[in-house]
Amino acid sequence: MDRYPTPPRYLDERTGDTYPLTGRRWRADNGTPLSVTPLPGITRHDIDTDVRSLWRYRAALPVAIPRPVSLGEGRTPLIEAQWDGVPVTFKAEWFSPTGSFKDRGTTVMVSFLAQQGITDVIEDSSGNGGASVSAYCAAAGIRATILVPAATSPAKILQSRAYGADVRLVPGDREATAAEALRLSAKTSYASHNWHPLFLQGTKTLAYEIWEDLGFEAPDQVVTVAGAGSTVLGCALGFGELLAAGQIERLPRLLVAQPANCAPLHAAFQAGVEHAVPGQWTPTIAEGTAIAHPVRLPEVLRAIRGSGGDMATVPEDDIKSALRRLAAQGLYAEPTSATAAAAIGTFAARGLIRPGDRTVVILTGSGLKAPAALADTFDGSDAP
């Protein structure tokens, strides 16, 4: 973009190596994940207020995309509520076109790939990412192959197939699916929501949107859930750019939840390290977080610590309880979303959420995504 004195490049944060933002590249030559070299951020005057989607923040992107592949993503509502005795604001990302926050990253990633002339992609997903990539590839005229764990929610598989994607069920867990995608990526473009750096450039619009929603101010903290950690990294990128641009006075704390059954980020956070530590992980109702080996684990931990944030784990029964409590307030969330809500009380008890604070809680996806899990939760045996 002309607004950048030095053209942005892909960046390997672990070595400092950089690469041009061109072609099919999605990782560094040494196999590590890439980000984008630091950007200066934008001001409120750079927002294209005539655009009612996240593309109103296109000036914050590292590349010019004059013809984006958009389905109207972004501009999701903030919903005021009370939770465990403190006021919070829920950011309902299920108003996105495919029902989850993944559309933020996908619209930018697929728009970039389409602009590069890519005609076919592969993606591995536990559901929401695959549905999102399928939808935007359909809109772009790109052929999509989606690999999913065989135990993925049928509703999510159906959604990807409805968009015309070639959905392939992979025996084994989420890690087996990722390994198969890596094997096949040598033959096609890998449009991975966990790996591709342009995906995070879309996810960072969540921070810009919250800033605008709150009258161009940052919240005191953002509560979210993490599997691979893209919402964490997106918020860190967006709010970091706003801080660099002088638009906010400090970074909001990033308060991050994981299900106790699969919490590799939390384990490393508690150990005070930036590498994976041994853990025995078991299946969780929050299938979107069931990632035992997050590829960006060091970067996610650095983002949380750099914000003065914290992490918590949530037992399965507490996730189910949070699902019921959200529904009792009219909010039909999937289990992954409810994991964030379930951690609010824990963070409040630690003094990290206080009355009078501005606390934004990200609800990442709709309950319509996980009918089987919710049927088990809402079987009539328990009150909200």
What one-character-per-residue DSSP string does 89-133 give? EEEEGGGSTTSBTHHHHHHHHHHHHHHTT--EEEEE-SSHHHHHH
Residues of the chain with pLDDT under 50: 1, 381-384
Whether pTM exceeds 0.75: yes
| Residue 120: predicted pLDDT | 94
| Residue 71: predicted pLDDT | 98
Span 78-99+198-377: which CATH code?
3.40.50.1100
| Residue 201: predicted pLDDT | 98
Q: CB neighbours of 75 closer than 8 A, spacing ≥ 6?
A: 52, 53, 54, 209
Average pLDDT, the chain: 94
Triad 282, 291, 104: Cα angle to 5°: 140
DSSP state at residue 30: T
Q: Where in the chain is the domain with CATH 3.40.50.1100?
A: 78-99+198-377, 102-197
CA dihedral (316, 206, 355, 333) positive or negative: negative
pLDDT, one tens digit per residue, over 350-367 is 999 998 999 999 999 999
CA distances from 140 to 54, 58, 70, 303, 328 (A): 18, 18, 9, 33, 39
| Residue 31: predicted pLDDT | 94
Distance between CA atoms of 351 and 207, rounded to whole angstroms?
A: 23
Residue 199 neighbours by CB distance under 10 Å: 29
Report, in angstroms and rounded to the nearest whole number, the Rg of the chain calculated over CA atoms: 19
Q: Which residues pair with 100 in a beta bridge?
A: 365
Q: Which residues pair with 124 in a beta bridge?
A: 147
Span 102-197: which CATH code?
3.40.50.1100
| Residue 1: predicted pLDDT | 46
| Residue 173: predicted pLDDT | 78
| Residue 295: predicted pLDDT | 94
